[in-house]
Amino acid sequence: MNKNLRVKSSEYIDETNRISFKFNGKTYHGFKGDTLASALLANDVHLVGRSFKYHRPRGIMTSGSEEPNAIVQINPNTNRTEPNVRATEVEIYEGLEASSQNCWPSVDFDIGGINNFLSPFFPAGFYYKTFMWPASFWEKYEFFIRHSAGLGKSPTSSDPDIYDHRNIHCDVLVVGAGISGILAAKNAAKNNFKTLLVDEKNELGGSTVYENNEFNKINNKTSSEWLKKEIEELKNIKNLEIKTRTSVAAYHQYNYLLARENLTDHLEAKDKTNKIRQRLLKIRAKKVILATGALERPLIFNNNDRPGIMLSSAIKKYSEFYGVACGSKNVFFTNNDSAYESAMSLYNKGINVKAIIDIREQSESKIVKKVKEAGIKIYWSHSIVDTTGYKRLNSISIMKLSNDGTSVTGSKISISCDCLGVAGGWTPAVHLYTQSGSKLKFDEEKKIFLPNQNTSEQISVGSCGGDFKIDEIIKNLNQKLKDTLNINETDLDSIKVEIDQENSKRNIWLLPSDKPLGKTKPFVDYQNDATAKDIKLALREGFRSIEHVKRYTTTGMGTDQGKLGNMHALGIIADTAGVKMGDLGTTTFRPPYTPLTFGTIVGRNVGKFFDIFRRTPINDWHVENKAEFENVGQWKRAWYYPINGETMHQAVQRESKAARESAGILDASTLGKIDIQGSDASEFLNRVYTNAWSKLAIGKCRYGLMLNEDGMVYDDGVTTRLGENHYIMTTTTGGAANVLGKLEDYLQTEWPELDVYLTSVTDHYATASLCGPNSKKILKKIIPDLDLSDENFPHMSFKEAHIGNIQCRIMRISFTGEHSYEINVQASYGKDLWEKCMEAGQEFDITPYGTETMHLLRAEKGFIIVGQDTDGTMTPIDLQMDWIVSKKKYDFIGKRSLYRSDTMREDRKQLVGLLTDDPNIVLEEGSQIVSELNQNPVEMLGHVTSSYFSPNLNKSIALAVVRGGKGMMGKKLFVPMENKNINVTVANPVFYDEKNERLNA
């Protein structure tokens, strides 16, 4: 090993820039421009991985993103490690490390390799059939199956890289920068279309830049020479943006495409830092030109998976583009002329080509004649029946094919070789095309699926559109460009093309062997180890749909999505079942075309940007005073303010007592606030709330309950009449946006005749809620000239006032049952207001309290929290809030539903209070409530919705919803817990100050 197989300098490889990298712990050298695959091949390393099921040694098969075998772990054991990366796509850099996957202890000696010898026992559906019984053993089976499966390791520490998203709008998006893509982009841009050209490779030109077949000429130059000049010209074209290392992952409806732009993966570690690693491009294109090319097909024959067996086109690319010989004794196996081009490429560089095995009877093309002249032995009408070599191919056996191609005859010839190039024809890369929703049709003559019915403004050009020969490509591209861009001339009009004429092909999906199928291993899906006999077995067992066969055999279900073998799977199914391939259809091509990293998908939405959050204008004070926070919707709300190492329970008990005994203050800025104006504002409120609003006097406040049309409680809050046609509505913190949306919906769609204007002003105001028996004295200190007497400023009323120069709106409303004021100021004055209250309240030991204390205090009063004590299935009647439902109003949202037979049932779940017999036991919220302990199964009557230890009552209190609860006052029930049953008694949900005397205290 470690031979140097570098054959000739290539302009794409910088031999002055030598790079060392490690593979499986061993150091190798390559050059700038190499991929991991080309550098390994240059070092004569073919064995790079083990297959998934049988752990068979596998080598590099391709030179692109379709690679099924050479998938590696990049930079193992670092925070930049990435599994399932195709070695054919990794550009090497100094310090790169990579290792094989799916092998233990090493790729050279892999214990799982025993599966290969046990393979007769692992047919398709093996797992489904074997691990079925006894059913209870599944957990044990699963442990071992999970351990033996799995490709690669995910990183265990956080990703150090930055990812980004970018939106792009363009007139024309060209996907793929081979000859067709380049010509399409050039002509689109020249005709003033804003054009974006993307290609997954680091260099433009696709396969044409190393296409040196002397019999195919464009304007009297070889196609590679000619195209390089065209590429040179692209630089000077306006309106054209070019992105290399950019792979289109998904093509959605309405020409919306996602592409991954790779920016730093090819750089050394020191150059990666503080740069964007990958960028997700979200592209909306008016027109899409797909120029995604074609993938070479392998041939399906016995033991066609050994390291050293590669696609013929890959061998050509390694030789021409990377200057690497993949072997020193090369043989090709083909059904068309492509392999001859690869053979000539090697021959011209002085690399030994021993033979070409061709399943056709003959070919008259110039390139074939050239090969004959070169003295390379051609075996016509022959097929490979077996190969040998465990970790590297060392020989093939061939036999004569029968005329019908279903069997082999004559004597076996053995040819020793270390590299075999297979050429099974070309499959248009229609993956993106079908993702867009467009439909394919099968061309029976060419044996390929071709674009047929486009669903959006798009065209497929070049080989992905079914044109393989350069003259057809240019002619059809020219016409399609004129049609789709609506232009009269292109610079393709003047191109002169000469081509080699012969284009014969003989298609046999599964090549015969001298052994029966059952004794052979013709792999169809290399990554998932699905063979032709697995597919036939699936058909014998009754599977017919291609989608079912795929899932049963796992054909096409690997990380490569079966880019190489899917067509053969379809062909074998069609031949075996005796149906036409066109009738069989294809499996669905799902995005992404090549895997995306999670980082790319997530972009900048990580860390503190993972989910946006909102802070109140008073937030800094809470932080300075060591509040603990909780998330309420997107808001960060002060939860409680522990002092001297208090637990949450201790802090909440202290805060709750202080609020009732002297004074407390709460940041209520997060409540939703909607400004409602217009001559029909009162009528509008009448329709959206359950109670009546017309008679509410200016300067008064009213609590309202809002239902859904199904009669269930949706939101609640206090609304204040500021003027004749002007109200300010408050909503729950979490419900603000939805309530506004719902109100707008009714106004725009059901009641457009109403003169009402809605404005969200949630963020415009900061709100401090001052509560407790001393709240009045504190407010008096802040606003001495405001008359706070009950006559002038009674409960449920509103005043405008000034604190210094700051204008404020004060509502005397209460969510705690205490005498309290909600003071609203312009948001920017929020912290100032808060600090003034704290200062004025100092002599009363004013206590800031958080949401937890607020919840406790309102629970003592039996006030509901929508979303905690309700869950979208509670009517106001269920909540024992009949008092708020107007009987007089003709209609309001949800009214009719309150009289449906179902909502009028007596045995609905209804809100009640619960008291534990032992006052020290606090129930768990969510725990279940039953009346019988010895029933089996026990009937669940309801659950606990709110539960606290009340310091003011010195006992545990709870709210609960209980079936038929209204009629159960005083009834004994049980809350069964894991280790004990808790005895409870149904009680009035108002636990504290039932007569509301404290509101005016």
Residue that the structure tokens 């730093």 belong to: 264
Among 122, 256, 380, 703, binds another protein (CB under 8 A): 256
CB of 165 to another protein, least distance (A): 12
The continuous run of DSSP H or E covering 960 comes out as: strand 955-963
Pairing of strands 458-460, 276-290: parallel
Among 457, 710, 924, 993, binds another protein (CB under 8 A): 710
DSSP 507-519: --SS---SS-GGG
Compose the 750-789 pattern: x for residues touching another protein by CB under 8 A, - for all others. x-x-------------------------------------
Of 232 and 891, which has the nearer Cβ to another protein?
891
Among 113, 437, 591, 633, binds another protein (CB under 8 A): 437
Only one of the segments 85-93, 325-333, 420-428, 748-756 lies at the binding site for another protein (rule: CB under 8 A); that segment is: 748-756
Measured CA to CA, the distance from residue 756 to residue 746 in angstroms comes to: 11
Q: Judged by CB under 8 A, does residue 284 bind another protein?
A: yes
Of 710 and 925, which has the nearer Cβ to another protein?
710
Only one of the segments 496-504, 738-746, 805-813, 856-864 lies at the binding site for another protein (rule: CB under 8 A); that segment is: 738-746
- Sheet of strand 330-334: strand arrangement: 309-311, 419-423, 330-334, 353-358, 377-380
Residue that the structure tokens 């932080």 belong to: 623
Only one of the segments 46-54, 93-101, 740-748, 865-873 lies at the binding site for another protein (rule: CB under 8 A); that segment is: 740-748
Of 283 and 481, which has the nearer Cβ to another protein?
283
Compose the 200-239 pattern: x for residues touching another protein by CB under 8 A, - for all others. ----------------------------------------
CB of 901 to another protein, least distance (A): 6
Q: Judged by CB under 8 A, does residue 252 bind another protein?
A: yes
Compose the 864-903 pattern: x for residues touching another protein by CB under 8 A, - for all others. --------------------------xx---xxx-xxx--
Asked whether 566 and 554 are in contact (CB, 8 A), the reply is no
Only one of the segments 246-254, 583-591, 615-623, 966-974 lies at the binding site for another protein (rule: CB under 8 A); that segment is: 246-254
Measured CA to CA, the distance from residue 741 to residue 714 in angstroms comes to: 13
Q: Judged by CB under 8 A, does residue 748 bind another protein?
A: yes
Of 80 and 252, which has the nearer Cβ to another protein?
252
Instruction: Give residues with Cβ within 8 angstroms of 941, minimum separation 6.
Output: 929, 930, 931, 962, 963, 964, 965, 973
CB of 710 to another protein, least distance (A): 6
Asked whether 589 and 434 are in contact (CB, 8 A), the reply is yes
CB of 886 to another protein, least distance (A): 13
CA atoms within 13 A on the CB side of 996: 9
CB of 706 to another protein, least distance (A): 16
Of 279 and 895, which has the nearer Cβ to another protein?
895
Measured CA to CA, the distance from residue 74 to residue 679 in angstroms comes to: 68
Q: What is the 3-state secondary structure (H, E, C) of 878-891?
A: CCCCHHHCCCCCCC
382, two tokens: 């022959």
Q: Beta-strand (E) ranges in 424-536?
A: 426-428, 439-443, 448-453, 458-460, 497-498, 523-525, 530-531
CB of 748 to another protein, least distance (A): 5
Pairing of strands 240-243, 195-198: parallel
Among 16, 157, 220, 749, binds another protein (CB under 8 A): 749
CA distances from 341 to 63, 497, 806, 839 (A): 16, 18, 85, 89
Asked whether 342 and 312 are in contact (CB, 8 A), the reply is yes
Residue 250: how many other CB atoms lie within 10 Å: 18
CA distances from 213 to 179, 210, 225, 497, 569 (A): 15, 9, 11, 13, 32
Only one of the segments 17-25, 234-242, 252-260, 844-852 lies at the binding site for another protein (rule: CB under 8 A); that segment is: 252-260
Measured CA to CA, the distance from residue 784 to residue 646 in angstroms comes to: 36
CB of 891 to another protein, least distance (A): 6
Q: Which residues of 509-547 are buried (b: 16+ CB within 10 A; e: fewer)?
A: bbbbbbeebeebbbbbbbbbbbbbbbbbbbbeeebeebe
CB of 890 to another protein, least distance (A): 7
Compose the 511-550 pattern: x for residues touching another protein by CB under 8 A, - for all others. ----------------------------------------
Residue 386: how many other CB atoms lie within 10 Å: 20
Measured CA to CA, the distance from residue 655 to residue 452 in angstroms comes to: 72
CB of 361 to another protein, least distance (A): 46
CB of 711 to another protein, least distance (A): 9
Among 130, 388, 416, 455, binds another protein (CB under 8 A): 455
Among 233, 444, 483, 745, binds another protein (CB under 8 A): 745
Of 724 and 906, which has the nearer Cβ to another protein?
906
Of 476 and 897, which has the nearer Cβ to another protein?
897
Of 194 and 354, which has the nearer Cβ to another protein?
194
# of chain residues touching another protein (CB under 8 A)? 25
Instruction: Give residues with Cβ within 8 angstroms of 780, minimum separation 6.
Output: 786, 788
Instruction: Name which of residues 372 to 401 contact another protein (CB under 8 A).
Output: none
Length of the chain: 1001
Per CB under 8 A, residues contacting another protein are 252-256, 284, 437, 455, 709-710, 741, 744-745, 748-750, 752, 890-891, 895-897, 899-901
